[in-house]
Amino acid sequence: MKIVIIDGQGGRIGSLLIEKIKTSAIHAEVIAVGTNSTATAAMLRAGADAGATGENPVIVNCRDADYIMGPIGIIAADSLLGEVTPAMACAIASSPCEKILLPVNKCSLHIVGSSGLAVPALITEAIAYLQSLLS
């Protein structure tokens, strides 16, 4: 099973997701794809099995991912301060796999009905949902 974690900026959300996956009972290849090298490096330090940076790695890894995880901004072109290109957003959104996105209300995206939880609580909820899909 291949889980692709996509994040940008400092890679904090992606790093937290990877740490939780690696310390849980989830057995999967975890690929970190950063929109910049700082995010990728942070996710690799968090324990990702492999990592790459930029538009083409996003496009390539979305093709055969079983799950994609990250902040909701990864499916919006020009989000994360412009780090998500239209091609990245399209590749992520059109991937046939299940996407588990954290409703971070930034990047001019506000998700009505989201509970406004702090990032660590969102990570816990995302991992619990992933585990429910796998059981």
pLDDT tens, residue by residue, 59-113: 999 999 999 999 999 999 998 889 999 999 999 999 999 999 998 766 666 677 6
**In the prediction, which pLDDT does 70 show?**
96
- Cα dist. 96→41, 44, 46, 75, 91 in Å? 27, 25, 27, 13, 10
pLDDT of residue 108: 67
Residue 100: which H helix or E strand, with range? strand 98-102
- The domain ranges of the chain are 2-134
Predicted pLDDT at 56: 98
Measured over the CA atoms of residue 85, residue 92, residue 26 and residue 49, the dihedral's sign is negative
For the segment 120-134, what is each residue's pLDDT rounded down to a tens digit?
888 898 999 999 999
Q: Which of 24, 29, 19 is nearest to 129 (CA)?
A: 24
| Per-residue model confidence (pLDDT) at position 122 | 86
Burial (CB count <10 Å: 0-12, 13-18, 19+), residue 59: middle
Q: Is the pTM of this model over 0.75?
A: yes
Please work out, in degrees rounded to the nearest 5, the angle formed at the alpha carbon of residue 114 by the alpha carbons of 72 and 25.
65
**C-beta separation of 58 from 32 below 8 A:** no
Asked if residue 46 has pLDDT above 80, the reply is yes
Q: What's the pLDDT score for residue 104?
A: 77
- For the ranges 24-28, 56-60, 62-66, which has the lowest average pLDDT? 24-28
Q: Which CATH number fits domain 2-134: 1.10.150.120, 3.40.50.300, 3.40.50.720, 1.10.10.350?
A: 3.40.50.720
Q: Say how far apart CA 11 and CA 43 lie, in whole Å.
A: 6
